[in-house]
Structure 1
């Protein structure tokens, strides 16, 4: 019995000693606190842009001084498709409005069309060929309409200037009933025109979809309606040098439906990953 009491007393003394030692131990420091990270701001920032695409162009009419006084009809007037390329710089003002300035080159598009005149005892056709190209400088503004699954639809408009150049223009004419020519025998002629360009006021309307690949890179698929003004070839010269002088031919109201694939690089975008801030207390 005495040995049992001795064991209980020794155990109690050991327990009290352990509790006293634990009370004397220093309290462990709390784990470091992580400060919340504010989400990257979506307001403001410069960007670069570039586009490639194809044009679908047309002209309302082709006019000349003599034809204006006679009942000519225009047939088959239009252009083949051509490539376009542009580069620009812009600024995003907030998460729904941005603007940019671009310089665009629109490649040579083959021109075709004819003016026909039919009168009693007289018929004439003028078959036109050549090509057209443009340099465009334009300021654009866009409104982003919201984002769903990283896709942002947008609309926009632009104003600027277009340098419209006509190259290799040629008029192949055929006349039936010309003075001094037997009835039913065609009289053929070919007229050449010098290359010529002119600046015009231009405007555009845009719509498209943008996909944000990462915070600094966006891909766009867009449509643009372009109004490029007028164009005219240079001075004319008959194939036999029987006549020459300034041209009276003008291509009126050039327009185009463009489809473009573009990219935007944000110049001050946040990194894709931002490590948390650590504060020591």
Structure 2
């Protein structure tokens, strides 16, 4: 994980907690764990032939971790800075060489870390309802970093080296909070996230020798996520 990302969250928490312009009851800290499932993707590999090689990648479910700090901007709107980490999507599927099925399987693993700024709308406040369960909706934009492991084909006959890439990310979320005490709430949510493209290295090995790809193996990382977190209002 990029060490600068959790540092950014902690710095923001420190500024918010010590700035007298912020009312203490309007600031909350958040931490939780969840489940993430990546959508099936068709990954292309720009080797030296046309059409490019391809793998139809399906993903196993993965654990997701989340930290955040939020601030109530208005009666019905929260701003939240959120750091999340998805611990290793294992992606594998049938491998096609120059457009023809090979009967082999391509495999890789991708860790995704993101930092986003979200706007969360408190629907109970919008409707002026005094519900104990407070539903919310929101959207967020930010940055995602992907650490793609070595891509291999069945029996390790070919491989592409690991690589780190990054880019724009966004998320849409629906959830609800429920009070557990004066300052503590349970937060359950569903999110659809598009973390952009993860890319492999251009360095590859095939048939006993090294080669350079024309373009990397690319995977669009889009996921469905369920999270359970605790909010602590400071």
C-alpha spacing 1:204/1:100, structure 2 compared with 1 (3 Å): same
- Residue in structure 2 matching 1:256, options 214, 223, 227: 223
Structure 2 counterpart of 1:108: 88
Secondary structure in 2 aligned to 1:56?
Answer: strand
* Higher strand proportion (structure 1 or 2): 2
Structure 2 counterpart of 1:167: 149
Secondary structure in 1 aligned to 2:149?
Answer: strand
Secondary structure in 2 aligned to 1:265?
Answer: strand
Structure 1 counterpart of 2:158: 191
Matches of 2:212 and 2:27, distance apart in 1? 50
Structure 1 counterpart of 2:206: 238
Is residue 214 from structure 1 mapped to residue 177 from structure 2 by the alignment?
no
- Residue in structure 2 matching 1:69, options 36, 40, 50: 50
Matches of 1:238 and 1:204, distance apart in 2? 38
CA contact (8 A) 1:117 1:125 kept: no
Matches of 1:113 and 1:216, distance apart in 2? 47
C-alpha spacing 1:68/1:258, structure 2 compared with 1 (3 Å): farther
Matches of 2:181 and 2:130, distance apart in 1? 15
Instruction: Mark the structure with the bigger radius of gyration.
Output: 1
Secondary structure in 2 aligned to 1:104?
Answer: strand
Gaps of 5+ in 1: 1-41, 173-187, 268-281
Is residue 51 from structure 1 mapped to residue 32 from structure 2 by the alignment?
yes
Is residue 226 from structure 1 mapped to residue 204 from structure 2 by the alignment?
no
Superposition RMSD in Å: 2.7
Give the TM-score taking structure 2 as reference length: 0.78
**1:59 positional shift:** 4.6
User: What count of residue pairs does the alignment treat as equivalent?
Assistant: 207
Matches of 2:182 and 2:156, distance apart in 1? 62
C-alpha spacing 1:144/1:68, structure 2 compared with 1 (3 Å): farther
Is residue 141 from structure 1 mapped to residue 127 from structure 2 by the alignment?
no
C-alpha spacing 1:190/1:151, structure 2 compared with 1 (3 Å): same
Matches of 1:256 and 1:143, distance apart in 2? 22
CA contact (8 A) 2:33 2:66 kept: yes
Secondary structure in 1 aligned to 2:205?
Answer: strand
C-alpha spacing 1:118/1:104, structure 2 compared with 1 (3 Å): closer
